[in-house]
Structure 1
């Protein structure tokens, strides 16, 4: 497949890019500057603002589906809502200007349920530094849930996602937070990328949110 991927320079986005390339897909990686570290394989680097619908439409031409792994720069001056919600609005509007309907999005964990009606972000222990990001991701998910003319999938990580081993192991869930036998909710970035790429290829969760964890 020919995949247009926004956010190709991030830790998670670059790993998803590499996973897709190793599976034989051609990835066009889009960043704000057009500069990425991926230089080998079936890869093309492009510059573009994912918050602009016409840019999304123009870049999507000739691709089979679109992936978004965008996120604000940590430690920078980015406004979380401007980046996340702005990108969501532009991706929806931009794809409606094309013949492409498939969209797979890297979402957040804050809206996952820990009990009926109780989200991760509702915990008094939820880190303050992540609240703006989680709130924006929650808003983005609700925007997607109003969309019935695109085949979107919103992929949430667990509470903890960090560099680590590529084991090939992961579990797939829905709106509930996945935890392991010790009560931990985590996954390595490489294993998350495997699950994400599997969903890109299979398209088994259309107009739905899924979650991936050990």
Structure 2
């Protein structure tokens, strides 16, 4: 497939590009500092002719309120894909919107780190935006509560809206295996127009 990746120079975006390339896909990485410069606001022109798009952008971390610009960026992506005629999009999501208990999102639990709270709420708002989209073939992929560089094993579990934890109560996945899950979903097309989560 011919795939366009927004946010291709970030921790997760880099690994998605590596995974896609390793499987023989024709990949173009877009970032503000990469070989192909641009962002999701340019999707109408950049995405034309691609089979699918992966959006690996993160909410702003410049000290401003992240939700308004992050929602604007995702709206621009959605509108741009419509203009470009690309229906398939995989979205790198956040874990904060996952259910940590009955009717309680992880971001709203007492132990959620304050430093990540605004970013997590912005990602949750973006999920709500995608859930209103019926004319694009989107999949929103939330990672485990913890994600960090590590080993690529190719092994992970898939859930829907509930936080996944291991036998010790830890919710974790490496960025490498998260990238595997993104590309698996892109190839297998198993969860259209829904949110999934992946963890060990």
Q: What TM bracket, shorter-length normalisation?
A: over 0.9
Per-residue deviation, residues 5-31 of structure 1 (Å, max 9, x unmatched): 000000111001100000000111010
For residues 124-153 of structure 1, what are the alpha-carbon distances to aligned partners after superposition, in whole Å with 9 as ceiling and x for unaligned? 111111011111011000000001000000
2:60 and 2:70 in contact (8 A); partners too? no
Of residues 57, 62, 82, the one that matches 1:96 is: 82
**TM norm structure 1:** 0.89
Match in the other structure for 1:7: 7
SS of 1:131's equivalent in the other structure is: helix
Q: Which residue of structure 2 lines up, in the alignment, with residue 59 of structure 1? A: 46
Matched positions, count: 200
Find out whether 1:46 has 2:22 as its counterpart. no
CA distance in structure 2 between the aligned counterparts of 1:83 and 1:15, rounded to whole angstroms: 25
Kindly state the Cα deviation for residue 81 of structure 1 after the two structures are TM-superposed: 2.1
Q: Deviations over 1:51-102 (max 9, x none)?
A: x2xx10100011101110001465x456522442122111111111122110
> Superposition RMSD on alpha carbons, in Å?
1.3
Quick one: distance in 1 between partners of 2:21 and 2:66?
29
- Kindly indicate whether the alpha-carbon contact (under 8 Å) linking 1:72 and 1:78 is maintained by their aligned counterparts in 2: no
User: Please, which runs of 5 or more residues in structure 1 have no aligned partner?
Assistant: 36-44
Unaligned 5+ runs, structure 2: none
